[in-house]
Chains A and B, each alone.
Chain A
Amino acid sequence: MDQKPQPIVQVENLVIGYGDEVILKDISFHIDEGEIFVILGGSGCGKTTLMKHMIGLHRPLSGKILLEGEDLVTADDKKRQLLLNRMGVMYQGGALFGSMTLLENVRLPLEEFTTLPLSAMNLVARQKLKQVGLEPYAHLLPSELSGGMKKRAAIARAMALDPRIIFLDEPSAGLDPITSAELDRLILSLARPFHITFVMVSHELPSIFAIADRVIMLDKQTKTIIAEGSPLELKTHSQNPWVHRFFHREIAASNPS
């Protein structure tokens, strides 16, 4: 009998914004363990803001975000650290530390949160770089890498502590189709065998159809979720005109151009 996957992330009645300005409201969804989950939406709809709240960088105005049943905002320091160590984040530009080589970047979480000797840390860091195909470039500084390589290196760093969930902010943005496809394949090769949950912010349709198990779609006008399901379901069955236009790359009828 198939076991029902457990939700690793639960978002309940979330309202987020800055000051008095509400960016998203009535946001409720869950993410199952091992899923590749995509937060989708047009430019400026609050996708990245939602992700930044999910990883604990900002406090929501109201509602809850539970990671493995724990709220990052209210958790005590010890529990918060434990939760943070179980997740990895890849930022849009990679956010690699410019003064460190790739190896040092990937080794950093191991230095800070494990008691491994240096030789073992180097071994683990090299293995992570190997998984993303960057082992030969371990000695290079981030400034010496291309955009795609930086993103792969950032994934390697995010995986350093063997997290259960990895958040990716627009992994395909600014990449050519081949590099983007390579990145998709990398995510799939990590998600399935290692059973890592991936949460991605994206609006790259080819990438979404290639890897996403489930997506939610945010809307800038209503400031809430307007669709949820697999990419194919949304493309073929969604009654929402905005979702239909998004998936079929259609422009609005009222658009003068």
Chain B
Amino acid sequence: MTKDSIIVTGSWIGQETLSLVLQGPLTGQTAGVAWKQAGVFMRRKRPQLLIIDASKLASFDEAGVSILADLCRQQRAGDREWKVEGLPPDCQRLLSQYDPHEKPTPPAIRPKFLLPEEIGRVTVHLWEDMKEQIVFMGKLTAALGLVILHPSRLRTKDMLSVMETAGANALPIIALIGFLLGLILAFQAAIPMRTFGAEIFVANLVSLSLLRELGPLITAIILTARTGSAFAAELGTMKVNEEIDALTTMGLDPVRFLVVTRVLGAVMVTPLLTIFANLFGLIGAGVVMLSLGFPLVTYVQQVLMSVHLGDLMGGLFKAFAFGIMVSAVGCQRGLQTQNGASAVGASTTRSVVSGIVWIVIADGLFSVLFYSLGI
């Protein structure tokens, strides 16, 4: 036995009495070993009388003494006797804090999972959330209207700061993703096109896909991940720190003061970012076309022939709409934050999930709309 380990020796006295001798330190570190060793002697049968000899304990702490308390409580629960002998006075004082008559707390009963109940709960939650989003959009529209009527009430400095963080600072990632997207798309398209000797039409495919669909979509998704989540975290932290309450008690509407600046800032930069995503996507595709042996002028000519201004403008309109949705939903999730640091994390997650869901829904609607209008 080392000086840091405990040994529990047990001996049965007759059929009904078990004597356990504890030797060494009884602390939080050794208590688990002591518990296991004591259990070995009681595995076959519980004694009617348990005698614990603690006279050879080298040291003890509260966690270690809890083992003794638990052994006594188990004896008590089975209407059996126990006796602790040779306990140092300080150890006795610690042990007396535990009530041997106390019954163990029953484990919390988890409500039974019922599928119809769960479906109902989720449906009600979604319905309530939908109503809140509609109310929020109404408040945002009113606040935007107020700012349009009284432009001096717009906090221009805050809006410019948002434009810088959501727009200028997002340019490198937009450029990188746009470039890679164009590159990958062109490579993937070139393989089947080569079968038909129609590699030149890769330019048509990539340019149309980027300008009409992928440019706005990828920009909106990056905006959700980067800016929508940042809005949710920022406003959520302000909520937790009572800064939103402070605004309200000053008589300042948080939607006008915080949300309008963020939404306007983000909306203004989204189409610009989309233009850059398109441009870098086309550059990426251009690199592939050059590697396939087409001169640059041929590729540019092919792109100019295949896309029209309407394609670009349609995409930018979509980007504008995505910008409103992503920034508004990010701000709304932030303002909905409950108490605590984990609530800020939850709001951030919800803002990204909601943002992506809204983008997908809106994109589907735009596709139907553009098809119907022949755009």
Q: Once bound together, how far apart are the Cα atoms of A109 and B250, in whole Å?
A: 7
- Taking a contact as CB atoms under 8 Å apart, the answer to whether A95 and B245 are in contact is yes
- Taking a contact as CB atoms under 8 Å apart, the answer to whether B242 and A84 are in contact is no
A85-93, A133-141, A179-187, A238-246 - the one binding chain B: A85-93
B252 interface residue (CB < 8 Å to A):
yes
Residues of B within 8 A of A42 (CB): none
Q: Nearest A residue to B240 by beta-carbon distance?
A: A93
Residues of B within 8 A of A2 (CB): none
B243 interface residue (CB < 8 Å to A):
yes
Q: Once bound together, how far apart are the Cα atoms of A91 and B243, in whole Å?
A: 9
Q: Once bound together, how far apart are the Cα atoms of A97 and B242, in whole Å?
A: 10
B249 interface residue (CB < 8 Å to A):
yes
Question: Which B238-296 residues sit within 8 Å CB-CB of chain A?
Answer: 238, 241-243, 245-246, 248-252
- Taking a contact as CB atoms under 8 Å apart, the answer to whether A57 and B241 are in contact is no
- Taking a contact as CB atoms under 8 Å apart, the answer to whether A84 and B250 are in contact is yes
- Taking a contact as CB atoms under 8 Å apart, the answer to whether A95 and B243 are in contact is yes
- Taking a contact as CB atoms under 8 Å apart, the answer to whether A57 and B251 are in contact is no
- Taking a contact as CB atoms under 8 Å apart, the answer to whether A80 and B243 are in contact is no
Residues of B within 8 A of A80 (CB): 251
Q: Nearest A residue to B251 by beta-carbon distance?
A: A84
- Taking a contact as CB atoms under 8 Å apart, the answer to whether B250 and A93 are in contact is no
Nearest Cβ on chain A to B239's Cβ, whole angstroms? 10
- Taking a contact as CB atoms under 8 Å apart, the answer to whether B249 and A55 are in contact is yes
Residues of B within 8 A of A97 (CB): 238, 243, 246
Q: Once bound together, how far apart are the Cα atoms of A84 and B246, in whole Å?
A: 11
- Taking a contact as CB atoms under 8 Å apart, the answer to whether A81 and B251 are in contact is yes
Q: Once bound together, how far apart are the Cα atoms of A93 and B243, in whole Å?
A: 10
Question: Which A81-123 residues sit within 8 Å CB-CB of chain B?
Answer: 81, 84-85, 87, 89, 91-93, 95-98, 108-109, 112-113
Interchain residue pairs A-B with the least CB separation, the first 4: A84-B251, A95-B246, A95-B242, A91-B242
Q: A89-B246, A89-B249, A112-B250 are in contact. List 17 more A-B contacts (CB 8 A).
A: A52-B245, A55-B249, A57-B245, A80-B251, A81-B251, A84-B250, A89-B245, A91-B246, A93-B241, A95-B241, A95-B243, A95-B246, A97-B246, A98-B237, A98-B238, A98-B241, A112-B251
